[in-house]
Every structure is written in structure tokens, then in C-alpha cells.
Amino acid sequence: MTSKKLQNITVLGMGGTIAGLAGDPNNPKEYIAGELGVADLIKDLSHVNELKLDILNVAQINSKDMQVGHWQALLSSVQAAMGQAHTHAVVITHGTDTLEETAYLLQAMGPWPKPLVLTCAMLPANAPHADGPGNLKDALNWASQAHHEGVFVVCAGKVHASQDVQKITTESVDAFTSGPEGCWATWVDGQWNIQSKSMSPTQLQPRPSLAYALAAKHWPRVEIVTNHALNDGAVVRGLLASSDSEETPLAGIVLAGTGMGTASQALEQALQKAVNSGVRVWLSSRCIFGLAHAQANTHWGEITLLSAAKARTALCLRLLAEKEHQS
């Protein structure tokens, strides 16, 4: 009898609801994220018998509190795990709230030589119908089968590509969308049904070397500003006025613009002032599936087709890359 060779997968824990605990399991909305470590998350998974898991708790946070140090710790752990000859893939357990930003960051800092899969949960680990164990099982399964380069998010029986994925609801365990084109794969009848779609083209963004990103104490400060009815530009004027007194001066603004990336006249004037003072401004749309278009008034900003959250990460990496180039 030939014994099947066990596959090694590294599981990195970042916290989130998947590692959260509710004071009263029957009231799962009242919980603390990131209470459990990865060892607790894998202990009841039967599927792990077919795998050999190396585990590491990188952070135990609510992902709303993500800071540069957390991202640096994650990047360096991913780099170390990818460098292990025996490792087939890396799975990351992460909070849902900034998951798309981390997924974008990891994609932008790639390509990685092995599959990289993020997973999460909408219900804490001790809720009666906790979705975390199923999602982690699916993520491990996808990671063990995936031979694609790229960064994926697995949640609620769906595989999303990092450049498409967006959290769109707080009220369902199926919290993510890949937009109108649909997701990469779905779990149907005990197997992955891969949609016949190719990776949507990523806008190649300049990014710093991994070594530079890991060593930089501060990453450039980029803020998101939303246009809305009655917008008088006060937020941008406030950002400019306080910039010098902050530890990290304002380096960029991503406009989450109305419609195809527009701003009120007053906000446009304030953004123009920001550009004049050396702040980089990018335009995106605040619509969930919205794309900023060239028809938007662009003399004060650069169009991006990314969502505002991903564009914020992309602009931060671009500015960091420029800093590295100048150093």
C-alpha cells in the first residue's frame, strides 16, 4: 500500500471574527475579535488529517485596527513561509473588515511562488452556526488544490480573486462579492466549480521592494475622502491644516467620488489646493461597482479603477516606491 504524501500548508493567524468569542454565544453580535489563536481554529477540523499544518499567530486583532506593523509582520511571515521548500501553500485567517485591503496588498507585493489564500468569518467561533470552521476547511482545500499564482479569498463556498473582492454586507455570512463578473470558483456538490473567467487585468502599480516596505517605519499617509451632498471641502482643508503637526504628513488623498468619480465644486477646489501643496490625489467612485471615468473632471487628480479602499493601499505603495527610488 502506498501512503499518500501529506501536504504542508502554513496557516497564519491575524485575528478577526473567525478567531472571535461572544460573551453569550446566542448573541453573536456582541463579541471580541481575535481572542483565539490558530491552534484553536484548526483543532476540530477533520479535514486537516490529510494535511500537515504549520501554524503561526502573527496578530490577534480586529482588522479595523490594522496598522503598518501588522502588515509588515504578515508580509514577512508570508515571505518566510513561501521560502520553506516543504510548504505547498499559505492560508491566512483574517477579519472581514479590511480583508480586501490586505488581499490587495499581498497581491501587489507578489507574485508569490505558491498559492496564497485568505479566509475569515462573519460569526464568532463560539456562535451556534459559526461559519469560520467551514470557511477555513474550504480555504485549506482550495489552497491544497490551487496551482494558480495569485491571492485568493475563500468565504461562504466561494473563491474570490484579490483584485475583485469587496465586502458588501454585514448581515450575511456570504459577505463578499467579486462584482458583476462573478467569483473565481464556487463549491458545488463536493468540488470546486471553477468559472471560466481569467484573472481580470490588474492595473500594474509601482510598489516598493519587500525589503524596503518591511524596513520603513512609517508608510506614506493616504486618506480617503468621500464626496456627498452638501460637501464644502472642509475635510480636505482640515487635513491640509493639520498635516504638519501629524507624525506622518499627508502624502495622498483618494477621492471616493460620487458617480464616476466626481466631487462638489468646493471639494474640487480644496483638492486642487492639496495637489498644489504636493499631495497626490487619486479619483475613484464611491459606488460599490462604480468605476471612475475620464469624463470626471480630472485636472486635479489621477483616475483609478480600483475601489477607494484598494486605491488607498495602491497609492500608499506607489508613494513608498517613489521614496525608495529617490533614496
Query: Which residues of the chain form contacts with ligand SIN (CB under 6 A)?
Result: 15-17, 33, 62-64, 95-97, 120, 122
For 232, residues 6+ apart whose C-beta sits below 8 A from its C-beta are 264, 266, 267
98 versus 205: smaller Cβ distance to ligand SIN = 98
Shortest reach from residue 155's CB to ligand SIN, in Å: 10
Rounded to the nearest 5°, which phi and psi values hold at 326?
A: -80, -15
131 versus 164: smaller Cβ distance to ligand SIN = 131
Shortest reach from residue 135's CB to ligand SIN, in Å: 11
Shortest reach from residue 269's CB to ligand SIN, in Å: 36
Give the C-alpha separation, 136 to 131, whole Å: 9
For 202, residues 6+ apart whose C-beta sits below 8 A from its C-beta are 107, 163
CB 251, CB 319: distance < 8 Å:
yes
Shortest reach from residue 249's CB to ligand SIN, in Å: 28
Side chain identity, residue 228: H
Shortest reach from residue 15's CB to ligand SIN, in Å: 6
Give the C-alpha separation, 130 to 205, whole Å: 37
Residue for grid cell 466561494: 158
Give the C-alpha separation, 135 to 188, whole Å: 14
131 versus 268: smaller Cβ distance to ligand SIN = 131
54 versus 65: smaller Cβ distance to ligand SIN = 65
61 versus 311: smaller Cβ distance to ligand SIN = 61
Q: Is the peptide bond before 111 cis (omega within 30 degrees of 0)?
A: yes
Closest residue to ligand SIN: CB criterion = 95
| Buried-exposed string 148-158: b where 16+ CB fall within 10 A, e elsewhere | eebbbbbbbbb
Shortest reach from residue 31's CB to ligand SIN, in Å: 9
20 versus 290: smaller Cβ distance to ligand SIN = 20
Shortest reach from residue 229's CB to ligand SIN, in Å: 29
Cell representation of residue 277: 501643496
Instruction: For residue 63, count other CB atoms closer than 10 A to its CB.
Output: 22
122 versus 239: smaller Cβ distance to ligand SIN = 122
